[in-house]
Amino acid sequence: MPVDPVTEAPACDVCGGTPAEFATFRSVLALLIAWQLQTRRGWFCRDCGVSVHREMTTFTMVAGWWGLAFLGALTAIAMNASAAGRLARLPAPAYRTGRPLAPRRPLSRSPALIGPILFGTLVLAFCCGVPGR
């Protein structure tokens, strides 16, 4: 864990910025009956944490619905949102030794939203039936 040389507070694993908090992000790849969970954990500043959150959650929104692991995808998205919420409350990093991760497109404007929307539509059609039949 890198630390700030002056305050000795934990610093971001990516850019060395402070303040930083420990966080865990997950992504899920679902393939019918198999699934793969990837985890990235470490100390992140606000900016790098938001970038990792967007990357891992976007992947899950695209690849997490296509099998029995959809509950894992929902759980991963909720846990990622919780971790990102904590990091988003941190102040902007005041001091960095490296380059932060590039900000990614906000999830609310990501084309990956089609994954959960399509999944939700299919679940509703399966549970409620197709209107007019």
Q: How many residues bind Zn ion (CB under 5 A)?
A: 7
Residues in region 2-31 near Zn ion by CB under 5 A: 12, 14-15, 17
- Name residue 50's amino acid: V
45 contacts Zn ion (rule: CB under 5 A): yes
Residues in region 91-110 near Zn ion by CB under 5 A: 100
Looking at the Cβ atoms of 98 and 111, the one nearer to Zn ion is 98
Burial class from Cβ neighbours inside 10 Å (0-12, 13-18, 19+) for residue 79 reads middle
Report the distance separating Cα 21 and Cα 24, nearest Å.
10
The structure tokens 């380059």 sit at 99
Is residue 66 a contact partner of residue 31, using CB atoms and an 8 Å limit? yes
52 contacts Zn ion (rule: CB under 5 A): no
- Name residue 14's amino acid: V
Stretch that binds Zn ion, among 27-35, 42-50, 53-61, 84-92 (CB under 5 A): 42-50
User: Which residues sit at the interface with Zn ion, rule CB under 5 A?
Assistant: 12, 14-15, 17, 45, 48, 100
